[in-house]
Amino acid sequence: MCAAQAANRTGVSSVNAPLTLGRNTALFIDVDGTLLEIAPHPDLVEVPPGLPHLLERLAGERDGALALISGRPIADLDRLFRPWHGAAAGLHGIERRRPDASRAESGASPADRAAAAALDRLRPELQALACQRPGVWIEDKGRTLALHYRVVPEAGPEIRDRTERLLREHGDGLRLIPGKMVVEFQPGHHGKGGAIAAFMAEPPFSGRMPVFLGDDTTDEEGFAEVNRRDGVSIRVGAPLATTAAAYGLPTVTAALDWLAGSRTG
């Protein structure tokens, strides 16, 4: 891979030209905010024409070593990107599908059961909070719970304060991850870094250099995991005061252009 200007942990550099991605790279890509522009509601995102074909091309060039790493369920990714049907980690790593379509199942461990019970306790509490704040709504993904406040950004401090209190009171086995106008309760033992590590332990990803593109707080674990493996971590969007990503691309459009221009050497 050709060099790009590096950055320290307090900011990201811009990737000034497409890096040359060799055949020995493994691509891991977040979805919302990275491949797709964030919409007021997750169901309102627009998939750029040609993006499913681009994913198929990038995966094919790497013998299938491309995985989407998303907070969405895998079924949602299949709906958005059909006919693409490749490797993916959904719900921040709770779900994982390999390139051969086999599944790495989770949900039966004591930690999974404790997290599910905590989410059951939180559902009525979050519903009450949403009812008190017009414009705030719950996205229930079954094994995670997200509270969105994109249309009322001024509610952010209150939402974060109250959900942190709910985590302390009811959230055994969970963690609370802040995102772009959203907070999400997730099982504490799952995350995007762990999903990337699991893929890297299996073919066709094993032995390759990992490259991860993401845009949000939930992607920081993925950046750290890729850095630990001497890979390439790229944050999409405006620079943050602190990030584990070593490189940056300013917009979703720039990320798509970078991916489209990357050819195997």
Whether residues 198 and 67 fall in one domain: yes
Whether residues 121 and 250 fall in one domain: no
Whether residues 96 and 201 fall in one domain: yes
* pLDDT at residue 108, rounded to an integer: 72
- Based on the structure, what is the number of domains in the chain? 2
pLDDT in tens, 68-111: 999 999 999 999 999 999 999 999 999 999 999 999 877 678 88
The whole domain housing 71 covers: 24-37+50-106+190-261
For residue 153, is it within any domain?
yes
Q: Angle 14-16-20 (CA atoms, 0-180°, nearest 5)?
A: 110
Whether residues 198 and 246 fall in one domain: yes
Distance CA(60)–CA(9), nearest Å, equals 33
Six-digit token pair at 223? Answer: 């950046």
For residue 230, is it within any domain?
yes
For residue 200, is it within any domain?
yes
Whether residues 182 and 255 fall in one domain: no
Whether residues 205 and 247 fall in one domain: yes
Distance CA(51)–CA(209), nearest Å, equals 23
Distance CA(97)–CA(196), nearest Å, equals 12
For residue 19, is it within any domain?
no
Whether residues 75 and 200 fall in one domain: yes
Whether residues 115 and 172 fall in one domain: yes
* pLDDT at residue 225, rounded to an integer: 97
pLDDT in tens, 210-241: 999 999 888 999 999 999 999 999 999 987 77
Task: Kindly give, in sequence order, each residue whose CB lies less than 8 Å from that of residue 11, ignoring residues fewer than 6 positions away.
Answer: 239, 240, 241, 243
Task: Kindly give, in sequence order, each residue whose CB lies less than 8 Å from that of residue 103, ignoring residues fewer than 6 positions away.
Answer: 95, 96, 97
For residue 156, is it within any domain?
yes
Whether residues 57 and 169 fall in one domain: no
For residue 11, is it within any domain?
no
Residue pair 215/236 in contact by the 8 Å Cβ criterion = yes
Domain-terminating residue out of 187, 217, 240: 187
Q: Which residues are catalytic?
A: 30
* pLDDT at residue 184, rounded to an integer: 92
* pLDDT at residue 171, rounded to an integer: 85
For residue 45, is it within any domain?
no
Residues of the chain with pLDDT under 50: 1-10, 16-18, 265
Task: Kindly give, in sequence order, each residue whose CB lies less than 8 Å from that of residue 245, ignoring residues fewer than 6 positions away.
Answer: 7, 12, 214, 219, 220, 223, 233, 234, 235
Whether a cis peptide bond, with omega within 30° of 0, leads into 99 is no
Closest C-alpha to 24, from 264, 213, 185, 196: 264
Q: Collapsing DSSP states into helix, strand and coil, what is residue 140? A: strand
For residue 69, is it within any domain?
yes
Domain-terminating residue out of 131, 164, 187: 187
pTM of the complete model beyond 0.85: yes
Six-digit token pair at 115? Answer: 């997290």
* pLDDT at residue 87, rounded to an integer: 98
Task: Kindly give, in sequence order, each residue whose CB lies less than 8 Å from that of residue 74, ignoring residues fewer than 6 positions away.
Answer: 88, 89, 90, 95, 97
CA contacts within 13 A on the Cβ side of 29 = 26
Whether residues 159 and 31 fall in one domain: no
Whether residues 210 and 91 fall in one domain: yes
What is the 8-class DSSP label of residue 61?
A: H
Closest C-alpha to 174, from 190, 196, 157: 190
Domain-terminating residue out of 187, 204, 231: 187
* pLDDT at residue 9, rounded to an integer: 46
